[in-house]
A and B are shown apart, each in its own frame.
Chain A
Amino acid sequence: MAEEYEITLVEAVNVALARALELDPNVVVLGEDVGFNGGVFRATDGLQRRFGEQRVMDTPLAETLIAGMAIGMATQGLRPVSEIQFMGFIYPIVDQIISHASRMRNRTRGRLTCPLVIRAPFGGGIHAPEHHSESTEALFAHMPGIRVVIPSSPLRAYGLLLAAIQDPDPVIFLEPKRIYRMVKQKVLDDGQPLPLDVCYQLRDGSDVTLVTWGAMTHETLQAAEQLSEQGISAAVIDVATIKPLDMPTILDSVAKTGRCVIIHEAVRTCGVGAEIAAQLAEHGLMSLFAPIQRVTGYDTVMPMFRLEKHYMPSIARIITAVKKTMEAS
């Protein structure tokens, strides 16, 4: 019988990994410090003890290897789940993903495939050292042939990670570390994946649609709450899979509300918000009462932590943007 646990997002990642390792002997976990130490955030805690060194592997310090090896493993029928310790150290693997993982299926006309998952914690707001706080999901969203998935709650972390591991194509699974331990939720460990490629509507509303993902869902929900006290009804959509995008859900909501504010921590230019706004312009312009607003990180290097709160989109900035859309119409 499936157990139910009251757990945090990072614990949900751990439970999902354990479930995946148990369900499928082809699943392996690899990365720096993931084995004996259980990961620097404890996401893989206890897995090596339980499943052995053959399935939960500490690698040398070598990111290109961690991703490249996963590609080789995946072509041979394994289901590797690689951890990049922080998104700040993911950039060497861009080559492996864009040159190989994303196109192996295409190059071999389906003969070889890459059912692999790359997990990495990302995002700011925890006073981390330099290079530990950026949100660069758009780099991966720009690559054809892969999925980019970002959970925003323990339940979605569990279900979406299982789905990512079962998915037949490469998935970049980005974990918003600011909310790793922010809330607990009851999660039934039944091995059931949640659907990928769909948005999750977190709150219904009739005046404005707030579109976001990852840690920013928390500020966005709070903004929606404050707005409702001021008589503004805001729908909140957690995009969850930022590539491929589920535009129908967003378009449906905007068709109802006529207003849209997109919120993300990443820098503004060429962020995923730009793609959503472009598609809204292409397919939903006629339902808009007001110009689309974006509340994002600035187009700067992510500041070190003394200034990071000025960089991060705040509830106040979200509310200001919503008010703008209300005034414009």
Chain B
Amino acid sequence: MTDTDNQSSSEENTVCVARFEIHYRQILDHNAVLTSALPTFAQDAGSLITLYRMMVKTRIFDSKAIALQRTGKMGTYASSLGQEAVAVGIGQAMSAEDVLVPTYREYGAQLQRGVSMTDLLLYWGGDERGMSYAQQPQDLPISVPIATHLPHAAGVATAFKLRNEPRVAVAVLGDGGSSKGDFYEALNLAGVWQLPMVIVINNNQWAISVPRKNQSLAQTLAQKAIAGGVQGEQVDGNDVIAMRHCMSEAIERARNGGGPSVIEALTYRMSDHTTADDASRYRATEEVQQQQKYDPIKRLHDYLMQTGNWNEKKDQALHAECAVDVEKAVQAYFDTPPAPPESMFDYLYETLPDAYQAQRAELIQQGVSNKGASNQGTGNKGVSNDG
């Protein structure tokens, strides 16, 4: 630029064409003190107890899954420790006919939607049948390639919209995932087409070893929604009441033609990234200890106790009940023999083309001399394979 006059005058003529605010929601803080009014659903102690039960169940499942991996009875596993409220809130807010498009830390939602613990164990035990979800006909399976499933959610939501069905697609991804183009592409379309879709960014502050601050200079990840003309807000992701409430609002808005939203759930990854990771290499134990006090389960536990809706006896009974359920699921996992090797051909196409019949036959032939792998001893031979 050489015309300095022009520059200064253009500054005077500047008009603000957009401005944004991002709201942060919390209802129950980490001291179990209410910081906002309870939403209607939460005035019924029964629904709070349901949330509590689901979080406890998710955690007991999680610690068992880690133990199975550690003892060589399952493969690499991604823990949801400390993040239970995010998934449980999502699961409670969704209707059965909605569709969940998850990644790998949403067990708390999946379990409520009919995915069984045995399914999850089979999945991490290296068995495709862990994605067959016998009790869950429409949800998508766990997506491991980060953020690649966001466009699927946009497609699911478009299908609902084209058919005028009052259903909503709920996609979940991590803070790291929000750096991928797939996320922006889906978000952008959701805005333009006003899709019935909710994107949850499960911001657990880490993407393996990369801290949140190195993913984006944006003050919040929720504000990425603004660029797509979409509503974005932050919620305390360790406050299951707020989580459930925000999700219900966003889902019902989407269902009623109010368009998509982005919910950034602020939580913390208490575990290693996966069982193949060692987080002590890159994050301070003090940081993790600091986060203990925000635990989502303890917070609701204390609130239920304070309000006289829960007691030690009930708590012990719940833990015992969950432990039994988890044991049953583990037994069912152990009792599932591997699928026949040739099953690798049987779901490639509706009908296997003739071109591949000979290979399938060769594989069966080999199976005669090569007995099936067992569930035991599936440890990963000491090599890191995060992800």
Contact = CB atoms under 8 A, between A and B. Distances in A.
Contact of A298 (B76, B344, B383): B344
Chain A at the B interface: mostly helix, strand, loop or mixed?
loop
Contacts of A126: 380-381, 383, 385
Contacts of B276: 40
Most buried by B among A42, A88, A127, A128: A127
A304 B378 contact: no
Given A89-B145, A299-B356, A307 B344 contact: yes
A40 B384 contact: yes
Interface in B121-179: 123-128, 142, 144-147, 176-177, 179
A201 interface: no
B209 A37 contact: yes
A73 B384 CA distance: 30
A305 B75 contact: yes
A88 B356 CA distance: 24
Given A129-B76, A307-B338, A310-B341, A41 B383 contact: yes
B386 interface: yes
A64 B370 CA distance: 41
A300 B345 contact: yes
Band of interface residues on A:
35 or more
A42 to B, nearest CB: 7
Interface stretch (B11-19, B228-236, B294-302, B361-369): B361-369
Band of interface residues on B:
35 or more
A240 B93 CA distance: 54
Contacts of A131: 144-145
A173 to B, nearest CB: 19
Contacts of B144: 88, 129-132
A55 to B, nearest CB: 17
Contact of A304 (B126, B355, B366): B126
Interface string A76-98: 00000000011011011000000
A306 interface: yes
B336 to A, nearest CB: 10
A305 B345 contact: no
Contact of A127 (B180, B341, B344, B378): B378
A107 interface: no
Most buried by A among B180, B274, B348: B180
A181 B348 contact: no
A308 B325 CA distance: 30
A81 B379 CA distance: 31
A38 B128 CA distance: 32
Interface string A53-77: 0000010111110000000000000
A50 interface: no
B339 interface: yes
Nearest to A10: B383
A317 B366 contact: yes
Contact of A40 (B176, B180, B348, B385): B385
A307 B385 contact: no
Contacts of B110: none
Interface stretch (B24-32, B189-197, B210-218): B210-218
Contact of B126 (A37, A64, A308): A308
CB-CB nearest 6 A-B residue pairs: A305-B126, A37-B209, A61-B176, A60-B179, A310-B341, A306-B126
Interface of B: 75-76, 123-128, 142, 144-147, 176-177, 179-181, 207-210, 214-216, 274, 276-277, 281-282, 338-339, 341, 343-345, 348, 355-356, 359, 363, 366-367, 369-370, 373, 375, 378-387
14 contacts: A37-B281, A40-B386, A40-B387, A60-B215, A89-B146, A89-B387, A126-B385, A127-B381, A127-B385, A132-B387, A177-B383, A300-B348, A306-B378, A307-B339
Interface of A: 32-33, 36-38, 40-42, 58, 60-64, 85-86, 88-89, 91-92, 126-132, 177, 180-181, 268, 298-301, 303-311, 314, 316-317
